[in-house]
């Protein structure tokens, strides 16, 4: 391996870059996805070595895919001509290499994509001043003009200042979500959350310093697992990183059964989780059961029994499991319920265990048995709703008995639905009934991202960049599902900064949308309304790497440099056990700039001191972060610094700091790019979720009102009534979701199908990570992202494999090619998540197939988003919109040959 060059020594001649990247892209197009590592025109030496003028550099992959992986880039003259993944040590399941998934391996085709925004630009017919000058109806269809940075920044600064002066800061909608993490607010610093670190959410401080902005908040990926479990006394919310939900992956190997609701790590996690966390469970003899609308790749590899279930009906299925356990339990002959756990750790199971002041008839047991309602949650009742045969429900309920070592696992997907707020409660209730928590071989919780079946304290903790947190003077915060109706109707329901306050009706007049981080149009439901909202305001500005949908509907677009063009990156969000360093490949390409540079320029134009927001350089922030990262000591008794720094290291980085001793030398960490804590069975890093609570619930209470697991929860009912969206009962209840199975019928009793006879949901998919990567032509071709439809349903509609179909409902129409399969439930279609919307000007249909095009812009319960509960019609059409063959949308003014 050649000597590692410092970032300052890596320069790039633009013409050389164009030549190299063009040759690499041509080879990739010819070789397909395999070209991510091989078959390039300038093929390097074999076995991962580099020639004399080439250097292997560890780099970061910053997509929010569910993890981070090890990437190394072969750099020649500042251009990446090849990628490989983690090869720092021998690979085994105890101590795995962190291998990148196909999205990470395609990262260079994203960085060097044809749709990189190279220069600032302005929409042709937009002029400052608002009103008719905006020509908002032309957003998304107008031509573009290339402009210089000074002109672009003057437009942005002046127009935002004009809007502030005329309408106040409540008229400015920023794309950053509300930072509600208590540790952040107490420390007044930004921690190394992946979103803050890579996406630049600290840019929100720029607008806060200028008087504030309207924030937004949503349940996003986590659905009802985002906030409501804490009210029941279960977990610490989605931001715990899986710490409190799951046992450690070494203990997971002792489980006898794993019952998975919507869990598909083969598609939705990083490249290591499946290999190191799940497969060892199978190899140890664990029996897997996959309860999912789709027969997933994970189910196939794990040898799981597939039990199809309709989207949005998991609560009904789980209630029926509880019914069977209660009805069949006999402590002597058929012990299913762990009565010791029920007695010590729960409230609300029966009339004798209810909290003071509550109605004794409102107890869990009588609720499930239908004692007073007359509607028992029997397997027959549930089967009619969820589609699972009664005998299968009974069999799974018996498996959940206390004498079996069970991992009851859920992804966030079943909770991403309207009226799904009771799901975490019934999930927790089954954990209590079967005693499946707090002891080895038993666990119940969300098995998500790179913490799938691997809970516990992080063995490597992220450092702090020491950027200040600038409080937002504006207290408006809109729930994500209703953000576009709020903009269009100039009115919304306020519930505090995600604090579940009393609903307050507020008028709101948005005149500016600033997209500085999250892809707002893809993140929120009701994408067609998003287009209307963008067209309704005076000014839209987007800073982005690629010409994404936000940029397409903007007035000013500012080109961002990627992390590969930025100072050394220290990446966390990598599960419990690993951390990554990514080197700078080259200086920012073309005229791209770092977000911090843009922020400083705007603050200067507004007459503010940039150092109040950015008191440290990007390089200094990176050093702070690396030097304050900690790793668990080898005996597991505490933490010590992860990285050693010498004075020479500090001087070469050009930063201020003190030398320190750590586990790994900076020079070595920088060379290998990844550090992972070696693991083995019996090491001191194991974790049993909720063990302290299980053993001593009085001394280690949960964070519910009672300190116990609440099968009857007063607070969730009170909070939901206060918020004003829809009421969540205090007992876990199947509430038919808006856009759920029942809405496929015009008459439910007679099972007469209505105008929208299909359920549609949005599984995560290997082609994209949320909205990342859908611009990469090679991934488009490798993974077509079709509409999955059951073979019988397709035959009834005359649809064959590869036919073009449209899925429509009241909110929009998407066009896809059909994948006819028996891997999906009848009556259900799957539209993979992450498509970039592309509106056909003739029909108004979305040819890109964004799932949010079909999503209803409504909130239910405690503000839960309903991505996976929608209904639609399906029809065959003649068009052939193959998006992997259509050219990327890109303004002509961005062409290289048009430079000055």
Domain of 203, CATH number, reads 3.40.50.740
Angle, alpha carbons 865-866-868 (nearest 5°): 135
Same domain, 49 and 126: no
The whole-number pLDDT of residue 575 equals 66
- Distances from the Cα of 655 to the Cα of 8, 432, 709, 812, angstroms: 14, 53, 50, 52
Same domain, 511 and 620: yes
Report CA dihedral (674, 678, 684, 686) to the nearest 10 degrees: 80
pLDDT, tens digit, 9 for 90 and up, residues 458-468 = 899 878 888 88
**Category of 190 on φ-ψ map: left (φ > 0), alpha (ψ -120 to 50) or beta:** beta
Higher pLDDT, 563 or 827: 827
Q: Are the CB atoms for 309 and 387 separated by under 8 Å?
A: yes
Contacts of residue 18, Cβ cutoff 8 Å, sequence gap at least 6: 896
Report residue 826's pLDDT band, with 50, 70 and 90 as the boundaries.
Answer: very high
Q: Are the CB atoms for 213 and 510 separated by under 8 Å?
A: no
pLDDT at 145 over 70: yes
The whole-number pLDDT of residue 79 equals 84
Same domain, 73 and 127: no
pLDDT at 17 over 50: no
pLDDT at 487 over 70: yes
The whole-number pLDDT of residue 237 equals 36
Question: Which of 455-469, 596-610, 681-695, 755-769 bottoms out in mean pLDDT, i.e. has the lowest?
Answer: 455-469
Burial classification of residue 162, based on how many CB atoms lie within 10 Å of its CB (0-12 exposed, 13-18 middle, 19 or more buried): middle
Per-residue 3-state assignment (H helix, E strand, C coil) for 555-602:
CEEEEECCHHHCCCEEECCCCCCEEEEECCCCCCCCCCECHHHHHHHH
In terms of residue numbers, what domain contains 523? Answer: 121-212+463-571+578-676
| Site of tokens 């029809």 | 875
- Distances from the Cα of 248 to the Cα of 256, 272, 453, angstroms: 15, 15, 6
Q: In the sheet where 630-632 sits, what is the strand order?
A: 460-461, 630-632, 639-641
Q: Pick the closest to residue 879 from 836, 831, 835, 815 (CA basis).
A: 815
Determine, yes or no, domain membership for 430: yes
pLDDT at 396 over 90: yes
Residue 90 in tokens: 């021998």
Same domain, 557 and 506: yes
Out of 75-79, 581-585, 807-811, give the one with best mean pLDDT.
Answer: 807-811
Same domain, 487 and 534: yes
Same domain, 30 and 92: yes
pLDDT at 209 over 70: yes
Domain count for the chain, please give it. Answer: 4
Determine, yes or no, domain membership for 514: yes
Same domain, 96 and 144: no
Higher pLDDT, 102 or 121: 121
Strands 787-790, 812-821: pairing kind: parallel
Determine, yes or no, domain membership for 728: no
Same domain, 669 and 776: no
pLDDT, tens digit, 9 for 90 and up, residues 547-580 = 999 999 999 999 999 989 988 776 655 568 988 8
The whole-number pLDDT of residue 178 equals 58
Q: Are the CB atoms for 312 and 737 separated by under 8 Å?
A: yes
Determine, yes or no, domain membership for 888: no
Report residue 470's pLDDT band, with 50, 70 and 90 as the boundaries.
Answer: confident
Higher pLDDT, 387 or 35: 387
Determine, yes or no, domain membership for 625: yes
pLDDT at 28 over 80: no
- Mean of per-residue pLDDT scores for the chain: 88
Same domain, 358 and 441: yes
- Spatial distance between the Cα atoms of 255 and 674, rounded to a whole number of angstroms: 30
pLDDT at 699 over 80: yes
Same domain, 286 and 379: yes
Determine, yes or no, domain membership for 441: yes
Same domain, 93 and 75: yes
- Distances from the Cα of 508 to the Cα of 168, 213, 487, 492, angstroms: 11, 12, 7, 7
Determine, yes or no, domain membership for 892: no
Q: What are phi and psi of 91, to 5 degrees?
A: -90, 130
pLDDT at 63 over 80: no
Contacts of residue 86, Cβ cutoff 8 Å, sequence gap at least 6: 69, 70, 72, 97, 98, 99, 100, 673, 674
Determine, yes or no, domain membership for 452: no
The whole-number pLDDT of residue 177 equals 65
Same domain, 129 and 107: no
Higher pLDDT, 185 or 515: 515
Single residue among 80, 111, 142 that ends a domain in this structure: 111
- CATH code where residue 285 lies: 3.40.228.10
Single residue among 111, 131, 156 that ends a domain in this structure: 111
pLDDT at 691 over 80: yes
- Spatial distance between the Cα atoms of 524 and 851, rounded to a whole number of angstroms: 10
pTM of the entire predicted model: 0.92
pLDDT, tens digit, 9 for 90 and up, residues 150-161 = 999 999 999 999
The whole-number pLDDT of residue 868 equals 94
């Amino acid at each position: 391996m050649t000597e590692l060059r410092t970032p300052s020594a890596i320069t790039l001649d633009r013409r050389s870059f164009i030549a190299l990247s063009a040759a690499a892209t041509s080879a990739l197009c010819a070789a397909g996805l395999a070209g991510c590592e091989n078959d390039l025109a300038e093929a390097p030496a074999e076995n991962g070595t580099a020639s004399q003028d080439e250097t292997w550099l560890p780099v970061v992959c910053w997509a929010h895919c569910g993890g981070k992986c090890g990437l190394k880039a072969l750099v020649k003259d500042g251009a990446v001509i090849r990628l490989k993944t983690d090869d720092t040590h021998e690979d085994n399941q105890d101590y795995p290499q962190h291998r990148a998934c196909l999205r990470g391996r395609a990262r260079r085709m994203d960085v060097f994509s044809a749709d990189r925004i190279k220069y600032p630009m302005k929409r042709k017919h937009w002029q400052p001043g608002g009103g008719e000058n905006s020509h908002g109806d032309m957003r998304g269809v107008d031509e573009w003009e290339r402009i210089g940075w000074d002109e672009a920044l003057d437009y942005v600064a002046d127009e935002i200042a004009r809007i502030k002066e005329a309408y106040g800061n409540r008229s400015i909608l920023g794309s950053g979500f509300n930072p509600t993490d208590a540790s952040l607010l107490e420390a007044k610093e930004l921690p190394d959350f992946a979103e803050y670190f890579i996406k630049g959410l600290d840019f929100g401080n720029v607008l806060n310093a200028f008087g504030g902005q309207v924030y937004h908040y949503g349940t996003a990926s986590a659905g009802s697992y985002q906030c409501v479990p804490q009210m029941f006394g279960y977990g610490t919310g989605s931001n715990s990183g899986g710490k409190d939900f799951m046992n450690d992956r070494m203990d997971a190997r002792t489980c006898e059964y794993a019952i998975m609701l919507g869990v598909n790590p083969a598609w939705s996690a990083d490249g290591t989780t499946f290999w190191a966390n799940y497969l060892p469970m199978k190899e140890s003899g664990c029996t897997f059961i996959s309860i999912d609308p789709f027969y997933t790749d994970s189910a196939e590899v794990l040898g799981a029994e597939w039990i199809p279930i309709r989207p949005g009906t998991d609560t009904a299925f789980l209630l029926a499991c509880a019914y069977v356990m209660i009805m069949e339990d006999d402590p002597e002959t058929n012990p299913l319920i762990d009565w010791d756990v029920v007695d010590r750790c729960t409230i609300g199971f029966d009339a004798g265990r209810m909290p003071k002041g509550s109605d004794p008839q409102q107890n869990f047991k009588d609720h499930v048995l239908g004692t007073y309602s007359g509607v028992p949650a029997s397997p027959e009742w549930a089967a009619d709703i969820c589609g699972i045969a009664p005998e299968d429900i009974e069999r799974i309920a018996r498996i959940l008995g206390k004498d079996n070592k069970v991992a009851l696992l859920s992804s966030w997907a079943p909770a991403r639905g309207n009226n799904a707020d009771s799901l975490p409660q019934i999930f927790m209730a089954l954990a209590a009934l079967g005693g499946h928590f707090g002891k080895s071989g038993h666990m119940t919780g969300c098995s998500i991202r790179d913490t799938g079946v691997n809970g516990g304290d992080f063995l490597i903790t992220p450092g702090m960049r020491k950027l200040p947190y600038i409080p937002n003077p504006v207290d408006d915060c809109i729930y994500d599902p209703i953000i576009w109706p709020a903009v269009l109707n100039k009115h919304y329901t306020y519930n505090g900064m995600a604090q579940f306050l009393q609903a307050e009706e507020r008028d709101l007049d948005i005149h500016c949308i600033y997209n500085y981080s999250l892809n707002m149009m893809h993140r929120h439901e009701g994408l067609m309304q998003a287009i209307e909202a963008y067209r309704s305001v005076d000014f839209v500005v987007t800073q982005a790497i690629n010409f994404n949908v936000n940029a397409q509907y903007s007035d000013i677009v500012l080109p961002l440099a990627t992390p590969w063009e930025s100072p050394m990156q220290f990446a966390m969000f990598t599960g419990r056990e690993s951390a990554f360093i990514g080197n700078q490949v080259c200086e920012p390409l073309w005229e791209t700039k770092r977000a911090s540079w843009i922020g400083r320029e705007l603050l200067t134009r507004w007459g503010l001191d940039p150092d109040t927001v950015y008191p440290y350089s990007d390089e200094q922030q990176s050093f702070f972060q690396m030097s304050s990262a900690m790793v668990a000591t080898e005996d597991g008794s505490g933490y010590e610094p992860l990285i050693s720094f010498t004075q020479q290291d500090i001087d070469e980085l050009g930063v201020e700091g003190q030398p320190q001793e750590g586990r790994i030398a900076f020079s070595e960490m920088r060379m290998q790019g990844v550090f992972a804590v070696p693991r083995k069975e019996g090491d001191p890093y194991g974790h049993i979720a909720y063990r302290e609570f299980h053993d001593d619930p009085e001394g280690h209470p949960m964070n519910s009102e009672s300190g116990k697991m609440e099968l009857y929860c007063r607070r969730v009912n009170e909070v939901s009534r206060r918020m004003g969206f829809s009421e969540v009962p205090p007992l876990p209840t199947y509430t038919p979701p808006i856009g759920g199975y029942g809405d496929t019928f015009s008459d439910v009793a007679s099972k007469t199908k209505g105008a929208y006879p299909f359920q549609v949901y949005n599984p995560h998919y290997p082609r994209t990570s949320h909205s990342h990567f859908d611009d990469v032509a090679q991934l488009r071709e490798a993974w077509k992202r079709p509409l999955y439809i059951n073979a019988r349903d397709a035959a009834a509609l005359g649809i064959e494999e590869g036919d073009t179909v449209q899925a429509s409902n009241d909110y929009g129409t998407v066009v896809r090619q059909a994948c006819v399969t028996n891997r999906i439930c009848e009556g259900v279609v799957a539209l993979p998540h992450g498509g970039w919307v592309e509106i056909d000007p003739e029909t108004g249909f979305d040819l890109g197939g964004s799932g949010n095009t079909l999503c209803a812009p409504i909130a239910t319960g405690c503000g839960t988003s309903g991505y996976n509960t929608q209904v639609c019609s399906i029809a065959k059409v003649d068009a052939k919109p193959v998006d992997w063959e259509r050219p990327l949308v890109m303004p002509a003014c961005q062409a290289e040959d048009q430079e000055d």
